[in-house]
Structure 1
Amino acid sequence: MRGTVTMYSTTWCGYCRRLKSQLQREGIAYTEIDIEQDPTAVALVEKANNGNRTVPTVVIAPGSGADEVTMTNPSLADVKRALAA
C-alpha cells in the first residue's frame, strides 16, 4: 500500500492507542500529531468533526493521486481501503 497516513490523537485516547497498535502490527507507517500540543491540529480536527475534538481523526493521502480522505475513528480495514484507493 502506498500513500501517507496522519493520525491526530491525544495521549489519553484509548481508540487512538488501539489504532496505532493495529497500524504498527500491519506495518503501516503513520505520522502522529497530538492535538493537545498543536493548535493548528485542533482546528483541523474540529473542522473535520463539526466543531468537535474527536480523535483519532485520520487523514489519508493515497499514493495513487486520489483525493485526500479524512476519517474519524476508522477501523484498520477502513484505513487499508483508503490507502488502496
Structure 2
Amino acid sequence: MMRPWILSLLFVLCGSAVATGLASSGSPGAAAVLLLAFLALAGVNSPLIFPRSVGAVEAQRRSAVDGRPVIYWRPGCTYCIRLRIRLGRSAHRLHWVNIWRDPAGAAAARAANDGNETVPTVVVAGRSYTNPDAERVRELLSRSI
C-alpha cells in the first residue's frame, strides 16, 4: 500500500532537508521556493495524479468489456502528466498502464508506435492514438459509454 507513495515521500523529505539547511543559513525565501518545487514534484509523482495502474492484459480485458480507452504511460513523462491533468476527473474512468512496470504494456505501446515506446498512447477498439489532446480522449471516452 505504501509502495506507490515512496517516490513522493522521498521528494518531500529531501526538499524538507534542503529547505531546512537553506533556512538555517539565512535564506528563508530560497528555502520556501525550493520546498514548493519539491512539493510540486512529489504531487506530480504521487498516486493522486495518476489513477492506479493495471496490467496491460487486464486493461485490454476491461476495455473489451466496457469499451473505455487504455492509456499507456510512464512516470516522469511530461506529456502524460499534461494529459492526466487536462482530463481532470474523467481520467479515473480510463484504464492506465504503466509501461515501466508492465512488460506487456511496453510491448503494446511499441506495437502501436512502430517499435517505439512513445507515451501517452491511447488505444480503444484496436485503434491507437499517440499523444492525443484531452478533448480527443474525452470524445473517445464518451463514445464508449
After TM superposition, the score normalised by the length of structure 2 is: 0.47
Secondary structure of the residue that 2:115 maps to in structure 1? coil
The runs of at least 4 aligned residues of structure 1 exceeding 6 Å deviation read none
Name the residue aligned to 1:75.
133
Return the alpha-carbon distance in structure 1 between the equivalents of residues 138 and 94 of structure 2.
12
Greater RCO, 1 or 2 (C-alpha within 8 Å, sep 6+): 1
The alignment's C-alpha RMSD in Å is: 1.8
Q: Flag structure 1 segments of 5+ consecutive residues without an equivalent.
A: 61-66
Structure with more helix by fraction = 2
Return the alpha-carbon distance in structure 1 between the equivalents of residues 134 and 74 of structure 2.
18
Name the residue aligned to 2:120.
56
Q: Flag structure 2 segments of 5+ consecutive residues without an equivalent.
A: 1-65
Q: How does 1:2-81 map to 2 (within 5 A)?
A: 3-23=67-87, 25=88, 27-28=89-90, 29-60=93-124, 67-81=125-139
In the comparison of the two structures, how many residue pairs are matched?
76
After TM superposition, the score normalised by the length of structure 1 is: 0.76
Larger Rg: 2
